[in-house]
Amino acid sequence: MATEIHAVRRETAAPATGRPATPDLLAFAALLLVLIAAPYVLYPVFVMKVLCFALFACAFNLLIGFAGLLSFGHAAFFGGAAYITAHTVKVWGLPPELGILLGTAFSATLGLAFGALAIRRQGIYFAMITLALSQMVFFMALQLKFTGGEDGIQAVPRGHLFGVIDLSNSLSMYYFVLAVFLFGFVVIWRTVHSPFGQVLKAIRENEPRAISLGYRTDHYKLMAFVLSATLAGLAGGTKAIVFQLATLTDVQWQMSGAVVLMTLLGGIGTLFGPVVGAALVVTLENYLAASNLPVPVVIGVIFVACVLLFRRGIVGEIAARFGGKRS
Amino acid sequence: MSTIFGIPPQALFGQLLLGLINGSFYALLSLGLAVIFGMLNVINFAHGALYMLGAFVAWLLLTMAGIGYWWALLLAPLVVGAFGVLLEKTLLSRLYKLDHLYGLLLTFGLALIVEGVFRHFYGVSGQPYPIPDLLRGGQNLGFMFLPNYRGWVVVASLVVCLATWYAIERTKLGAYLRAATENPVLVQAFGINVPLMITATYGFGVALAGLAGVLAAPIYQVSPLMGSNLIIVVFAVVVIGGMGSILGAVLTGYGLGLLEGLTKVFYPEASNIVVFVIMAVVLLIKPAGLFGRER
C-alpha cells in the first residue's frame, strides 16, 4: 500500500554509504558561499528568516524524509521554543544563547512526551495525533499568563551573545543565525549518514522487517522524533531572538502546514530540499504580502500542485534527472 | 435542590446542553470522516472547510436569493456533495495508488484554498444567520430553558446519525459498501462498480459536513474560520473513538461534547484542551481507540 512514497524516496535519498557523496559536498560548499555573501546582497533580516525556516524544515524533513513519519504538529516545537526563549530573555534577563538553549530544551522535552504518545499509532493517525497535541499547545499559549495571549511576547531584547557580541547589529546577528543553522544542518547530515540513520531508513522502508531483525523500532522512532523536535525548537528559539517576537502565529496549525509545504516543495527526503523550499515559501510570502492576492489560496494551490504533479519536489526532481551518477 | 456539587442547576444544564450541541457537530463530522476513511483510506482534511462551505451556501442562498432555512437544509448539502464529487473525480482519485499521506496533504491544500477564498471575500468576521420562524422561542422544562432551535439540532443530528448507521449496517447498499471496504478487488470482480461507490461515498460524507454547516449557521455565526478549529477537535475525537465503527464515531462525538460541557462548568480554563488530554490518555491505555480495531 505505501509503495510509491518509498520508491520516490529511495531514488532521491542520499546514497547509503557512511561518507557523504561528492555532489552533496559540492552543493554544501556552494550553499555556504551563497549564505556567507548573502547579507551583503539581500536584506539580512529576510535571509535570517529564511535560515530559521530552513532549519525548521530540515528538522521536519529528518522525520518525514528519513523515518517516514508525517508530523502535522511541528509548530508546537517551533513556537513553544520561541515562547520560552522570548520569556527567559525578556523577563528573566538571560543572555540570548542561554534563552535559545532553554527553548530548545523545552522543545526536546515536549518532543519526548508527544513522540511517546504519537508513535503508538501509525500513518494517518500519527499525523492526526501530532496535530491534536500541537493544538493543545496552541490553546495553552492562548490562555497562559506568561505568553501574553493574542499579543504574544513583544520587544524581546536581542542582547549580547556570550556577553560580548552585540546582536542588535544585524550583521553579527546574521552570522550567529548562520552558525546556528549550519550546526543544525550538519547534525542532520551526520545523523542521516550514521548507522542510526540507516536503521531509520530501514524502518521507513519496512518496519516489520526491521523489527524481525531485532531492532526496537519504537526506540528509534522516538529518538528521531525527539531530535527533530529539538532542532525545530532551536530554529524557533533563534527566530524569537531575530524578530524579538513570539506570537500565536508560531504555534498555529498553519505553521505546521507551512513547514510541510516547504519540505514537500523542496523535496522530501533530500538534504537540501527543505532549504530550497523554505527560501521559496518565505520569498513568496514576502511578495504576496505586498500584493492583493490572498496568501492561503496561493499556498493551497502550490500544495495541491506539488502533491499531484511533482511529488519529488524541486531538489528531488533535479536529483532524479541527473541522478544516474550519484548511486 | 438549589445547587448540584455547588453549581446552580441552570448553569450545569445549560453547559450540558451546549456540550450536547457541540457533540452533535462532532458526531456528524466524525461520522463523515469515518465513512470516507473506511472507503477511501483518506483522512479528509477539507472536512472543516466543507462544513464552512455548507454554512456559507445557506447564508448566500438567504441573502442573494431569499431562499430560506428549510430549502437550504436540502440544497446546501447537495451543493457541497456535488463539489465533493468534483474534487474526488478530478483530484483525489489520482492518488489512490500512492501513500495515504498524500491524500491528507492534498485535502489540506484544498482546505487552505476553500477557506482562503472565503476569507478573501468575506473577511474573518461572522455573518449572522437568523433562526427559522418555526423554531424560534423555547420550552421551559422546569429545571432549565430549552431554546427550540437547539433542541432541533440535537434531534436532527441524532436522526441523521442513526439513519446513516442503519443505511450502512442494515441495507443491501450498505453491505456492498462494507464489503468494498474490506476487499475492493473482490467486490469489483462480483460486478459492482467500486469506483462509483467510492465517489458516492466521498460525496455523501462531505454532504454530511455541509448539512452540519447549515445546522450550525444559526447557532454559531457563519464565518470562514468556523471549520478549521473545529476539524482539529474532530480529528482528536476520531483518534479517541477509532474509525472502526460508525456507532463508535457517533457515540464518541456526543460523549466528548458532553464532557467538554462539564469541563466548562467545573474548570472552564481547561475546556479547550480537555478533548486533547483525553486523547492522550486513551492513546496510553488503548492505542487503537475506544471502538477501533488494531491493524
DSSP-assigned beta bridge partners for residue A103: none
- Contact B113/A300, CB-based, under 8 Å? yes
Q: What is the CA radius of gyration of chain B?
A: 19
pLDDT of residue A324: 52
Q: What band does A153 get if pLDDT is binned at 50, 70 and 90?
A: confident
CA distance B56 to chain A (A): 18
- Contact B104/A70, CB-based, under 8 Å? yes
Residue ranges of alpha helices (H) inside B61-147 are 69-90, 100-122
Does residue B80 lie in a domain region?
yes
Identify which of A3, A128, A257 has the shortest CB distance to residue B238: A128
pLDDT of residue B199: 93
Does residue B237 lie in a domain region?
no
- The Cα–Cα gap between B132 and A306 comes to 44
pLDDT of residue B106: 93
Nearest to A103 by CA among A269, A225, A232: A232
- The Cα–Cα gap between B47 and B279 comes to 20
The size of chain B, in residues, is: 295
Interface test with A, best of B282, B283, B286 (most A CBs within 10 A): B283
Structural domain harbouring A31? 18-251
Look over chain B and give the mean of its residue pLDDT values, rounded to a whole number. 88
Does residue A109 lie in a domain region?
yes
**Number of structural domains found in chain B:** 1
Interface test with A, best of B33, B95, B113, B286 (most A CBs within 10 A): B113
Does residue A1 lie in a domain region?
no
CA distance A304 to chain B (A): 5
For residue A260, which residues of chain B lie inside 8 Å, CB to CB? 105, 108
The more confidently predicted of residues A78 and B146 is A78
Does residue A234 lie in a domain region?
yes
pLDDT digits (tens, 9 = 90+) for B74-106: 999 999 999 999 999 999 988 888 888 888 899
Q: What band does B133 get if pLDDT is binned at 50, 70 and 90?
A: confident
Give the DSSP H/E element, type plus range, for residue A275: helix A273-290
Does residue A264 lie in a domain region?
no
- The Cα–Cα gap between A141 and A126 comes to 23
Contact A323, A275 (CB under 8 A): no
Share of chain B above pLDDT 90, in %: 43
- The Cα–Cα gap between A49 and A95 comes to 21
- The Cα–Cα gap between A39 and A31 comes to 14
Q: What band does A194 get if pLDDT is binned at 50, 70 and 90?
A: very high
Q: Tell me which chain B residue has its CA closest to the CA of residue A303.
A: B109
Residue recorded with cell 450550525: B216
pLDDT of residue A3: 40
Interface test with B, best of A60, A130, A268, A297 (most B CBs within 10 A): A297
Contact A87, A98 (CB under 8 A): no
Interface test with B, best of A3, A110, A131, A265 (most B CBs within 10 A): A131
pLDDT of residue A327: 37
The mean-pLDDT minimum among A48-52, B178-182, B243-247 falls in: B243-247
Nearest to B243 by CA among A95, A17, A125, A303: A125
Mean pLDDT for B36-53 is: 90
Does residue A6 lie in a domain region?
no
The mean-pLDDT minimum among A230-239, A308-317, B208-217 falls in: A308-317
Q: What band does A11 get if pLDDT is binned at 50, 70 and 90?
A: very low
CB pairs under 8 A between A and B: 130
- The Cα–Cα gap between B64 and A113 comes to 50
- Contact A303/B99, CB-based, under 8 Å? no
Q: Tell me which chain A residue has its CA closest to the CA of residue B240.
A: A129
Interface test with A, best of B108, B110, B124 (most A CBs within 10 A): B108
Q: What band does B4 get if pLDDT is binned at 50, 70 and 90?
A: low
Collapsing DSSP to helix, strand or coil, B247 comes out as: helix
Nearest to B231 by CA among A308, A81, A298, A127: A127
- Contact A5/B102, CB-based, under 8 Å? yes
Strands (E), chain A: 160-161, 165-166
Other C-beta atoms closer than 10 Å to the C-beta of A244 total: 17
pLDDT of residue B59: 94
pLDDT at B190 over 50: yes
Q: Which three cell numbers stand for residue A183?
A: 550546526
- Contact A294/B119, CB-based, under 8 Å? yes
For residue A1, which residues of chain B lie inside 8 Å, CB to CB? 41, 99-100
Judge whether A190 is closer than 8 Å to chain B, CB to CB: no
For residue A221, which residues of chain B lie inside 8 Å, CB to CB? none
Residue B193's contacts (CB-CB under 8 Å, 6 or more residues apart) are: none
| Burial class of residue B267, CB neighbours in 10 A (0-12, 13-18, 19+) | exposed
For residue B104, which residues of chain A lie inside 8 Å, CB to CB? 70, 72, 124, 127
Task: Name the DSSP letter for residue B139.
Answer: E
pLDDT at A49 over 90: yes
Question: How many alpha carbons lie under 13 Å from residue A319 in its C-beta half-sphere?
Answer: 29
**Ramachandran area for residue A54 (φ above 0: left; ψ -120 to 50: alpha; else beta):** alpha
For residue A70, which residues of chain B lie inside 8 Å, CB to CB? 101, 104
Query: CA of A142: how far to CAs of A111, A246, B1, B232, B276, in Å?
Result: 20, 12, 37, 16, 15
Q: Tell me which chain A residue has its CA closest to the CA of residue B109.
A: A300
Mean pLDDT for A166-171 is: 81
Q: What band does A103 get if pLDDT is binned at 50, 70 and 90?
A: very high
For residue B43, which residues of chain A lie inside 8 Å, CB to CB? 124, 127-128
- The Cα–Cα gap between B158 and B164 comes to 10
Sign of CA dihedral B167, B168, B172, B173: positive
Mean pLDDT for A76-94 is: 92
pLDDT of residue A276: 94
Contact B197, B39 (CB under 8 A): yes
Structural domain harbouring B150? 22-132+145-227
**Number of structural domains found in chain A:** 1
pLDDT at B37 over 80: yes
DSSP-assigned beta bridge partners for residue A153: A246
Q: What band does A20 get if pLDDT is binned at 50, 70 and 90?
A: low
Contact A262, A274 (CB under 8 A): yes
CA torsion angle B226 B228 B231 B232 (round to 10): -130
Does residue B43 lie in a domain region?
yes
For residue A7, which residues of chain B lie inside 8 Å, CB to CB? none
Q: What band does B42 get if pLDDT is binned at 50, 70 and 90?
A: confident
Residue B167's contacts (CB-CB under 8 Å, 6 or more residues apart) are: B173, B174
CA distance B106 to chain A (A): 5
Does residue A297 lie in a domain region?
no
Other C-beta atoms closer than 10 Å to the C-beta of A119 total: 22
Mean pLDDT for A38-42 is: 85
In A219-248, the residues whose Cβ lies within 8 Å of chain B are none
Q: What band does A210 get if pLDDT is binned at 50, 70 and 90?
A: very high
The one-letter amino acid code at A311 reads R
For residue B98, which residues of chain A lie inside 8 Å, CB to CB? 4-5, 311
Mean pLDDT for A91-113 is: 93
Residue B136 CA from chain centroid, whole number: 24
Q: Which three cell numbers stand for residue A157?
A: 531584547
Look over chain A and give the mean of its residue pLDDT values, rounded to a whole number. 87
Identify which of A3, A135, A143 has the shortest CB distance to residue B276: A135
For residue B106, which residues of chain A lie inside 8 Å, CB to CB? 303-304, 307-308
Nearest to A253 by CA among A117, A153, A136, A145: A136
pLDDT of residue B2: 62
Q: Tell me which chain B residue has its CA closest to the CA of residue A293.
A: B120
Does residue B270 lie in a domain region?
no
In A2-21, the residues whose Cβ lies within 8 Å of chain B are 2-6
Share of chain B above pLDDT 70, in %: 97
Report residue B138: phi and psi, to 5°.
-165, 180
Mean pLDDT for B248-261 is: 91
Does residue A88 lie in a domain region?
yes
